[in-house]
Amino acid sequence: MVDAEGEFVEYVSARLPRLHRTAFLMCGDAHLADDVVQQTITSLYVNWRRVSRADNVDAYVHRMLVHKLVDEKRLSWAKVRLLGSAPVPERSPATPHDDLAERDSLLAALARLPRGQRTVLVLRFLCDLSLADTAAAMGCSEGNVKAQTARALAAVRQVLDVAEMSARSPR
């Protein structure tokens, strides 16, 4: 029992930054990200003996995190997943400390995306989830994921290209 607990603490401590990054980039809310990660690792502790025997513990934990976030946001997603009309904080709560223009722009671009679009971006490009897994995690169709990914990429690319152009242009 004590050994299992030690294993759990070691595992969670190593993965915490990545889990938190995923949660934060998906919801754009530092507090909610903390909350969801806390809930996820609590559930993980409860099920640790079973989960730690899984072939791919990381993948399992990832799904738990996504589902916790989906549960938190289920109502809002159902309403905003297509066009994004639910109220969202007007400014990104994150204050990026990074001075690279491109990184700032990425956070700004994410903050402006409807929640569904930023979720597909994070799930597909940060978490490397497949189209099918992303659709299952979000409770929507693959077609919807594809459509949202395309829209999100277009929006993000536009922001990044503008940032890149202004960085390159002689001043």
Partner 1 sequence: MTTVDDQRIAALLRSVSVPEPRVDVSRAVRDGRRRRQRRRVAGVAALTVLAGVGVVGAVQVGGTANSPAPTTPALAVSPAATGSAAPRPPVTCQASWLSQPIDGPVAVAVGVDPTGRYVVGDIGTGQEDGRVVLWTDGRPVVLPKTARHAAAVNASGHVVGTDGDGTGWVYRDGKLRPLATPPGFDAVLVHAVNARGDIVGTARRSDDSHQAVRWSTAQPQTYRLIGQRGSTATGITDDGTIVGELDQQPYRWTPQGVGAALAVPEGYPRASVESARGEWAIGMVPGGSNGGAVQMLPVRWNLTTAAVSLLPFPGASGISAEGEVLIGDGAPLIVAPDGTSRRLPGRPEVRATEPGTYTAEGISDDGLTVVGAVYENQAYRPLVWRCGR
Footprint of partner 1 on 54-93 (CB under 8 A) = 63, 67-68, 71-72, 74-76, 78-79, 81-83, 85-87, 89, 93
CA 94 to chain centre: 14
Rounded Cα–Cα distance for residues 33 and 162 (Å): 29
**108 near partner 1, rule: CB under 8 A:** no
Q: Between 110 and 170, whose beta carbon lies closer to partner 1?
A: 110
The three-point CA angle 108-114-116 to 5° equals: 120
Q: Between 53 and 97, whose beta carbon lies closer to partner 1?
A: 97
Using the rule CB under 8 A, which residue among 51, 57, 94, 101 binds partner 1? 94
User: If we measure between CA atoms, which residue out of 158, 86, 92 comes closest to residue 116?
Assistant: 86
Q: Between 32 and 57, whose beta carbon lies closer to partner 1?
A: 32
Q: Between 95 and 170, whose beta carbon lies closer to partner 1?
A: 95
Rounded Cα–Cα distance for residues 75 and 113 (Å): 17
